[in-house]
Each structure stands twice: as structure tokens, then as C-alpha cells.
């Protein structure tokens, strides 16, 4: 499953070119591919991906910049090849659990930064894995939300991701698993999700910042 997403990323990146923008501003397509390569081959750079520590972030950025400077076609090929042979996500089950959402979201980061974009029609098996991600990761990404949050995906189910606070209501988010993952991971401005609830609750949730 992630292997098909890697090929999709490679095709889209090649079609757009290395300098095309992404939703991960200021990253270009080249920078985004470098990020994908680094996170699967350089354990020394991983702490700076998530930890808000400037020294770690500087090291990660330095490593990523060197990777991004490689020939673009080689960079695309590295993404397709996937993780280093000794990397834990070489195991298919772990690869599917860890990388399906990462790859799907970053593919849309390229697609939806372009004018007149359309959402990608992903296979049902990918959508099913993304729904599992919504059910698990959504509880973490919405943990600080000012409202209750319920996600609904037609054909996949319904899940409560956060209980409403004592002084607030609940917002129901409806969309495909891909759109719900994008919303959960902070791409709400580009996610085709319908938010249902009171105007105040919908506005409050819209102001809640989330990250991948």
C-alpha cells in the first residue's frame, strides 16, 4: 500500500517539477521529497523533525538541505525505493501503519498547492487505512480542541475523537478518510470536510491549530 503511494508521489512530483510550491510552505516539491527521504534514512535527523529544539532543528535542516541538493531524478527514485534496508518500516505491517497517512498527506501537500486542484481518488484499501489513522491519531490531534469532535466517513463509520467540554458542544466532521486525515493533521483550509454544529462551535474548532 505505501509502495503505491510512493509511486504516486514520484509521478506527481515529476509532473510538477522540483520548484513547484507545496502546502508545507516554504518547502518546494524538492524539499518535501528530501524530507521523506531523510525521515526514512537518517535517524540522527529525526529528533529535529518534531522536537522544538533549535539545535536539533538546525541539524535536521542541514541534513535535509544536503539531500535536497541531489539530482532531482535520483531524489524521486529514493522516494520510490522507500526506507533504508535496515529501517524498521521495511516491515510491511509497520510500513502500512506508519507511512500510509504520511505519504497520502504529503502527496496532497503537492497537489493542493496548485491552482485548480482536485482531490486524489485513492483506492479503497488506502482509504480504509486512513480511516484507522483518523480513529487513532485523531484523538491526539484534537486533544486540545475547544469542542467535542466526531468524525464520520460514509462507508467506514463514525468515531468520537474528543468529548465536549462542560461549556461547549460537539462538531461533527464529515468527509472521506483522506479529507478527515488532512483536517486532523492541520490542512483544514484545503480539506473537503463538512463541519456540522453550532456556528460558535464550528468557528471555535476552526481556530484550533493541529499539526502532523
Segment 35-66, tens digit of pLDDT: 999 998 888 877 777 777 788 889 888 989 99
Instruction: Please state the rounded mean pLDDT for residues 115-127.
Output: 94
The reply to whether 98 and 22 lie within a common domain is: yes
Element at 165 (helix H, strand E): none
The reply to whether 179 and 100 lie within a common domain is: no
User: CA angle, corner 209, sides to 18 and 181, nearest 5?
Assistant: 65
The reply to whether 107 and 75 lie within a common domain is: yes
Q: Please determine, for residue 23, whether its predicted confidence score (pLDDT) is greater than 90.
A: yes
The Cα-based distances of 69 to 31, 35, 54, 64, 65 in angstroms read 9, 12, 22, 9, 6
In a domain, 87, yes or no: yes
In a domain, 64, yes or no: yes
Instruction: Please state the rounded mean pLDDT for residues 137-160.
Output: 95
The reply to whether 131 and 105 lie within a common domain is: no
d(CA 95, CA 141): 21
d(CA 211, CA 71): 30
| pLDDT for res 210 | 73
The reply to whether 62 and 163 lie within a common domain is: no
The reply to whether 85 and 42 lie within a common domain is: yes
- Which range marks the domain in which residue 17 is found? 2-111
The pTM score is 0.92
Q: Tell me the pLDDT of the chain averaged across its residues.
A: 92
d(CA 143, CA 137): 10
| Cis-peptide into 212, omega within 30 deg | no
The domain that contains 134 carries what CATH number?
3.30.1050
Q: Please determine, for residue 165, whether its predicted confidence score (pLDDT) is greater than 60.
A: yes
Residue 120 backbone dihedrals phi, psi, to 5 degrees: -80, 135
Amino acid at each position: 500500500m505505501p509502495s503505491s503511494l510512493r509511486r504516486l508521489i514520484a509521478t506527481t512530483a515529476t509532473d510538477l517539477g522540483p520548484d513547484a510550491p507545496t502546502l508545507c510552505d516554504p518547502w518546494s516539491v524538492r524539499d518535501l521529497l528530501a524530507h521523506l527521504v531523510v525521515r526514512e534514512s537518517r535517524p540522527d535527523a529525526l529528533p529535529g523533525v518534531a522536537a522544538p529544539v533549535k539545535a536539533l532543528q538546525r541539524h535536521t535542516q542541514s541534513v535535509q538541505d544536503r539531500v535536497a541538493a541531489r539530482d532531482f531524478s535520483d531524489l524521486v527514485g529514493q522516494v520510490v525505493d522507500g526506507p533504508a534496508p535496515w529501517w524498521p518500516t521495511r516491515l510491511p505491517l509497520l510500513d502500512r501503519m506508519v507511512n500510509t497517512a504520511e505519504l497520502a498527506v504529503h502527496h496532497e501537500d503537492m497537489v493542493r498547492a496548485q491552482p485548480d486542484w482536485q482531490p486524489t481518488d485513492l483506492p479503497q484499501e488506502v482509504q480504509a487505512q486512513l480511516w484507522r489513522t483518523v480513529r487513532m491519531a485523531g484523538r491526539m490531534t484534537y486533544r486540545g480542541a475547544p469542542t467535542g469532535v466526531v468524525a464520520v466517513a460514509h462507508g467506514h463509520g463514525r468515531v468520537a475523537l474528543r468529548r465536549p467540554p462542560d461549556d461547549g458542544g460537539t462538531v461533527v466532521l464529515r468527509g472521506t478518510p483522506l479529507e478527515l486525515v488532512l483536517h486532523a493533521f492541520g490542512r483544514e483550509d484545503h480539506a473537503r470536510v463538512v463541519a456540522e454544529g453550532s456556528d460558535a462551535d464550528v468557528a471555535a474548532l476552526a481556530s484550533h491549530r493541529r499539526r502532523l
